[in-house]
Amino acid sequence: MKPALIPTLTQTVLVLMLAPLLTGVIKNWKAKLQNRRGPPVWQPYVDLLKFLRKDMVVSEHASWLFSATPCVLFLSVLIVGLMVPMLSEQPPLKWFGGALAVIGLLALGRFFLALAGLDPASAFGGMGSSREMTISAIAEPAMMLSVFTVAITAGSTNLGQIVHTVAGQSTAFLNPSHLLAFAALFIVLLAETGRVPVDNPATHLELTMIHEAMVLEYSGRYLALIEWSASMKQLVLMTLIVNIFFPTGIAADWSAASAGRALLFFVGKLLLLSGAVVLVETTNAKLRLFRVPDLLSAAFILAALALLSTFLFK
Amino acid sequence: MLLLTLTLWGYVIGALAGLLCWQREKLANLLSFGSASLAALCGVYASVVFLLGGAASFSIRWDFLESAVPYLKFSVRLDPLSAFFLLIVSSLGLALSIYSFGYARGFYGRTKVGVLGAFYNALLLATTFVFIADNAFFFLVSWELMAMTAYFLVSFEHEQPEARHAGVLYFIMSHIGTGCIILGFLLLFQASGGYGFTGFHALGEKMSAGRRNAAFLLFLAGFGVKAGIVPLHIWLPAAHPVAPSNVSALLSGVIIKSGIYGLTRVYFDFLGTPPLWWGATVLVVGSVSALLGVLYALMDHDLKRLLAYHSIENIGIILMGLGAALMFQHANHPLLGAMALIAGLYHTINHALFKGLLFLGAGAVQHAAHTRNMEELGGLIKRMPRTAFFFLIGAVAISALPPLNGFVSEWLTYQSLLQGFGTTGSLTRLIFPISGALLALTGALAAACFVKAFGITFLAQPRSVQAERAHEASPTMLAGMGLLAVTCIFLGLFPNQFLPLFDPLTDQLLGAQISRQLAAPGGIVLSSLGQEAGTVSTLGITLTAVCLLPIPLALWIFFGRDAVRQTGMTWACGQKTLTPQMQYTATGFSKPLRIIFKALFRPHRAVQAEFEFSPYFARTIRFESHIEETFEARIYRPLQRFILRTSRRMRALQAGSLQAYLIYIFVTLLLLLILTL
């Protein structure tokens, strides 16, 4: 039950290197859609390098927790990245945790980040932490219920097993429960990655910000890790969605040929989903904070309907 | 069982020593808590040895006192279920007693440390008896002894009206519960003809459906009061915070678990194969308690009351496991039933450990800063770094975050709920995923609550002078907390090493041993009965994290070797200084949730501002905000009014005239005569 070396290394590199690119692509496309030229797609890499090299200022009120959080966050998200089927149905850490561990580890990272938001004694950080924990709390039932729906169909919380089951059914994408669960998880994705209409990743120092408010006091190499983690989290959640609901092209094992083919499919699917995210971000306005629960309860209801329809259409 | 006898005698000696030496505080402290530590250590050893004996371990039963009353037998029995709860009370008792050496010093010169030690030992003794009593009568005697000593400890600091009020509320609620339990045992007595627990085994099969259901409901209410299920919980957030912190930890960690012990004993041992609605009821009650418990915890800014509300939440999570187990027992799935039962009981011991740890941490904070109000705390991570670290471990564990023990037991609960979906074809199976979603909501809210509890209490700037002057807790207090933190980590990282202890227990109650199925080959992976159904490995995750740690470190060293780390001011929008008043408060932190759930909380706020030229530059502001205590206002106060009104009317009957009383007696006699004719 030990993770194999080559797949683990491949996927670690993939998660680390693909994440900033995805963020760059979404930023670029969003700008294009808004008739701006936009930053080049590799801008996030340059930013990360810049942050890593920069001097940093740490608040006098901050404790060791503030310094430990970037590492905890980075590692927890990276481990989640190794639990998600990316190129192959068999993720490297498949024995170490499935859907529940993924949700748990993401929550661990969020927990520490929220604490770090409170640590420097700034009102902005507290505001961000408070909002982040609130929104994640009301997003959690929808996420869990959608996960339950797919897990019940597959008879397993093991993500590889879920993907395998869905890949085995050629008409899975027509299954209403599948579509409803996809819709619910898509809304949760927007909330969890801090996208419009829940949060605006492009805003700084406005009273509407959530994620950016929490990390406001970070700079230098700490900020690099946090930004990188945010990108990785986005990549991981998007991977989860595309591979669970559209497992087309995913490899059954880790042989070089099938993994290469799977990589092409994987990138294609990610780009499609990013397109969807960009469209939603551009065509919607940010919701008022207290309208967000409505959106998320809609996601919850979609997930509940998804569950009901597994029951009805069997 | 020499060890068990030693445990019991240890508590007796501790109690006596405390009373005898009450004039010499140091000696009383040393003797009573020392004796309790040794007794608890024996208890831990006895229960572990017993449970490790495996399924072959027989129950041991003996009468330790002859009694003149026909039905009352002072008989104790150690069977796997008792041994498991003995393990809980002893392991927490050990850590608490060590902590108490340092903690009780805070009472020197103020109150009688010896009396505290005596009651503390008596409570441990009574609780141990509750778990090992083999006779309903003796069980009730110990139960009352436990309730009474707990009452004395709740009102230990009786100079404060808050403590007296809480004590009385606890006393009343506890006795309502005891009444229900007595009625329930009377129903069992009718069917069995004796009070022995051995005679009660699988008695439900012989009872009529109506009586069985009545017994189910009576025990649910009776033990539910003790466990603190909603809506019978109102005494819990009042009573637990006012007791001395070592006692609060004992109350929240162990005493409320006696309710769980009672429910498990009665439902799984006595009442036979349950109908479907029993399990469903327990599951629903559990889900509701969990959710409401955490929601009220979020709104509370008294550190210890917040923890008390979390006890309600965790009792709910435990009941979810037990309820699912009852439903699987109905569906005749002993393996799944065993997994759900293990999930519930694993959470029981986990909760005892991390809640004990958190209460001890809160006690240390109160000890150092002389307040429990979070709005006056802050910045303690620099003043009491070790306490803060231990509290953080407890907070991560209780928020069910990997890799600590709360995550493991909630993972088992989720897995049982998930697999429960396939056990029945009827619509009732929808209850499993829905309660799973509620559990997810509960878990996420608990994480939010502990971000608040830890963040506001320990991080940022101190909000008051007391908090600024706080000092680290004494070494024995830290040792007590450290012991609990280590056990939390152990139960989190090595569930496979701990699970075999459940084998005799599930074998006794459900006839299934599943620790082998739960431990996947390889030693570190936990599987949900089958490897295909889901696996997790907290140790694996931790080891992976250690292996991946070089990545961020290498990045920092490679790219950031020339970068300088400076310490500077937190950005304050250009203001010159950042005052503690500018920080987020606990009230502010929980405000979004207060607004989202306003249908439940019915928040009320009043702002009065005095200003000279513009309302934006107020001279003084008075802000008041509170939420409605729904259960008190909607259920208990109308009930209280009703009782008072009725008793006022009844008072007319008691006019104090002897003649009238004679007439009552005469009429009653006449009526009785007519009835018997």
Distance in angstroms (rounded) separating the CA atoms of residues B208 and B192: 13
The pLDDT value given to residue B430:
84
Helices and strands in chain B: count of H runs, count of E runs: 31, 7
Are B48 and B501 a contacting pair, CB within 8 Å? yes
Closest-CA residue to A220 (of B550, B552, B572, B381): B552
**What are the φ and ψ backbone dihedral angles of A57, each rounded to 5 degrees?**
-115, 125
- Residues of A with Cβ-Cβ distance to B430 under 8 angstroms: 307-308, 311
* Interface test with chain A among B291, B386, B421, B459, by most A beta carbons within 10 Å: B459
Cβ pair A94:B535 closer than 8 A: yes
pLDDT at A73 exceeding the cut of 70: yes
Distance in angstroms (rounded) separating the CA atoms of residues A53 and A46: 11
Quickly state the pLDDT bin for B294 (edges 50, 70, 90). Answer: very high
What is the residue-averaged pLDDT of chain A? 90
Average pLDDT, integer, range B216-227: 94
Length of chain A: 314
| A127 shares contact with chain B (CB less than 8 Å) | yes
**Nearest-10 crossing angle of helices B276-299, B431-458:** 20
Percentage of chain B modeled with pLDDT above 70: 97
Considering only CB atoms, B583 lies closest to which of A123, A158, A224, namely A123
Q: Are strands B618-626 and B604-611 parallel, antiparallel or unpaired?
A: antiparallel
The pLDDT value given to residue A257:
86
- How far is B177 from chain A, CA to nearest CA, in Å? 34
Cβ pair A57:B568 closer than 8 A: yes
Considering only CB atoms, A158 lies closest to which of B399, B532, B596, namely B532
The pLDDT value given to residue B609:
82
- Residues of A with Cβ-Cβ distance to B411 under 8 angstroms: 100-101, 104
Quickly state the pLDDT bin for A290 (edges 50, 70, 90). Answer: confident
* Interface test with chain A among B298, B461, B468, B536, by most A beta carbons within 10 Å: B536
| B418 shares contact with chain A (CB less than 8 Å) | yes
pLDDT at B641 exceeding the cut of 90: yes
Q: What single string gives the DSSP state of each residue in B510-525?
A: HS---HHHHB-TTSS-
Average pLDDT, integer, range A300-309: 89
Average pLDDT, integer, range B291-317: 94
- Provide the terminal-to-terminal Cα distance of chain A, rounded to the nearest Å: 34
- How far is A114 from chain B, CA to nearest CA, in Å? 7
Please tell me which residue of chain B has the smallest CA distance to A123. B583
Considering only CB atoms, A115 lies closest to which of B430, B455, B545, namely B455
| A312 shares contact with chain B (CB less than 8 Å) | no
Domain ranges of chain B: 331-550
- Please give the distance of CA A246 from its chain centroid, rounded to a whole number: 17
Quickly state the pLDDT bin for B322 (edges 50, 70, 90). Answer: very high
Average pLDDT, integer, range B145-152: 93
Residue pLDDT, tens place only, B401-411: 998 999 999 99
- Residues of A with Cβ-Cβ distance to B450 under 8 angstroms: 111
| A95 shares contact with chain B (CB less than 8 Å) | yes
The pLDDT value given to residue A255:
84
Residue A36: both structure tokens together: 């701006």
Considering only CB atoms, A220 lies closest to which of B399, B545, B563, namely B563
Considering only CB atoms, A101 lies closest to which of B533, B541, B569, namely B541
* Interface test with chain B among A47, A74, A76, A108, by most B beta carbons within 10 Å: A108
Distance in angstroms (rounded) separating the CA atoms of residues B367 and B363: 6
Please tell me which residue of chain B has the smallest CA distance to A308. B430
- How far is A271 from chain B, CA to nearest CA, in Å? 27
| A94 shares contact with chain B (CB less than 8 Å) | yes
Residue pLDDT, tens place only, B45-57: 989 988 887 554 4
Cα four-point dihedral sign B120, B122, B127, B132: positive
Look up tokens 């109905």; give the residue: B330
pLDDT at B148 exceeding the cut of 90: yes
Residue B296: both structure tokens together: 């009220």
Residue B607: both structure tokens together: 């702002």
Distance in angstroms (rounded) separating the CA atoms of residues B478 and B102: 9
Q: Does the bond joining B403 to the residue before it have cis omega, within 30 degrees of 0?
A: yes
Distance in angstroms (rounded) separating the CA atoms of residues B647 and B607: 41
| A279 shares contact with chain B (CB less than 8 Å) | no
Residue B35: both structure tokens together: 């004796």
| A140 shares contact with chain B (CB less than 8 Å) | yes
Please tell me which residue of chain B has the smallest CA distance to A74. B552
Distance in angstroms (rounded) separating the CA atoms of residues B179 and B232: 14
Domain ranges of chain A: 5-312
Rounded to the nearest 5 degrees, what angle is found at the Cα of A101, between the Cα atoms of A141 and A179? 50
- Residues of A with Cβ-Cβ distance to B418 under 8 angstroms: 148, 151-152, 157
Cα four-point dihedral sign A50, A52, A55, A58: positive
Give A251's strand partners.
Answer: A88
Please tell me which residue of chain A has the smallest CA distance to B540. A96
Please tell me which residue of chain A has the smallest CA distance to B298. A134
Please tell me which residue of chain A has the smallest CA distance to B572. A122
Which are the contacts of B155, defined by CB distance < 8 A and separation ≥ 6?
Answer: B163, B164, B166, B167, B242
Distance in angstroms (rounded) separating the CA atoms of residues A41 and A44: 7
Cβ pair B447:A107 closer than 8 A: yes
Distance in angstroms (rounded) separating the CA atoms of residues B308 and B314: 10
The pLDDT value given to residue B669:
94
The pLDDT value given to residue B357:
96
Residue, of B427 and B187, whose pLDDT is higher: B187
| B440 shares contact with chain A (CB less than 8 Å) | yes
| B524 shares contact with chain A (CB less than 8 Å) | yes
The pLDDT value given to residue A172:
67
Cα distances (angstroms) measured from residue A39 to each of A19, A30, A47? 16, 10, 11
Look up tokens 């998804």; give the residue: A306
pLDDT at B428 exceeding the cut of 70: yes
Distance in angstroms (rounded) separating the CA atoms of residues B415 and B497: 19
**What are the φ and ψ backbone dihedral angles of B69, each rounded to 5 degrees?**
-80, 135
Quickly state the pLDDT bin for A21 (edges 50, 70, 90). Answer: very high
pLDDT at B24 exceeding the cut of 90: no
- How far is A150 from chain B, CA to nearest CA, in Å? 11
Q: What is the three-class DSSP state of B569?
A: coil
Residue pLDDT, tens place only, B520-570: 776 788 888 877 888 899 999 999 999 999 999 999 888 888 888 899 888
What is the residue-averaged pLDDT of chain B? 89
Are B232 and B224 a contacting pair, CB within 8 Å? yes
Mean pLDDT check: name the lowest of A14-23, B154-163, B239-248.
B154-163
The pLDDT value given to residue A82:
94
Residue pLDDT, tens place only, A210-222: 888 899 899 989 9
Closest-CA residue to B250 (of B107, B38, B97): B97
Closest-CA residue to B11 (of B111, B72, B103, B86): B86
Distance in angstroms (rounded) separating the CA atoms of residues A33 and B239: 60
Quickly state the pLDDT bin for A99 (edges 50, 70, 90). Answer: very high
Percentage of chain A modeled with pLDDT above 70: 97
**Nearest-10 crossing angle of helices B334-369, B256-264:** 170
The pLDDT value given to residue A249:
86
Residue pLDDT, tens place only, B78-94: 888 999 999 999 999 99
- Please give the distance of CA B394 from its chain centroid, rounded to a whole number: 14
Considering only CB atoms, A137 lies closest to which of B438, B448, B572, namely B448
Cβ pair B532:A155 closer than 8 A: yes
- How far is A136 from chain B, CA to nearest CA, in Å? 7
Are B135 and B47 a contacting pair, CB within 8 Å? no
pLDDT at B481 exceeding the cut of 80: yes
- Please give the distance of CA B436 from its chain centroid, rounded to a whole number: 21
Q: What is the three-class DSSP state of A77?
A: helix
Are B563 and A56 a contacting pair, CB within 8 Å? yes
Residue B218: both structure tokens together: 């009576």
Predicted ipTM of the assembly? 0.95
Distance in angstroms (rounded) separating the CA atoms of residues B405 and B355: 12
Quickly state the pLDDT bin for B65 (edges 50, 70, 90). Answer: low
Quickly state the pLDDT bin for B576 (edges 50, 70, 90). Answer: confident
Task: Name the H helices within chain A.
Answer: 5-33, 43-53, 64-83, 99-118, 123-154, 159-168, 176-192, 211-214, 220-245, 256-283, 292-312
- How far is A270 from chain B, CA to nearest CA, in Å? 25
Distance in angstroms (rounded) separating the CA atoms of residues A188 and A295: 9
pLDDT at B59 exceeding the cut of 70: no
Q: What's the predicted TM-score (pTM) here?
A: 0.94
Distance in angstroms (rounded) separating the CA atoms of residues B545 and B549: 6
Please tell me which residue of chain A has the smallest CA distance to B428. A311
Distance in angstroms (rounded) separating the CA atoms of residues A85 and B199: 55
Average pLDDT, integer, range A52-70: 93
Residue pLDDT, tens place only, A137-196: 999 889 989 988 888 888 888 998 899 888 888 776 678 888 899 999 999 999 999 888
Are A57 and B564 a contacting pair, CB within 8 Å? no
The pLDDT value given to residue B177:
94
Burial class (CB in 10 A: 0-12, 13-18, 19+), B305: buried
Cβ pair B441:A56 closer than 8 A: no
The 3-class secondary structure across B34-54, one letter per residue, is HHHHHHHHHHHHHHHHHHHCC
Average pLDDT, integer, range B183-205: 87
- Provide the terminal-to-terminal Cα distance of chain B, rounded to the nearest Å: 56
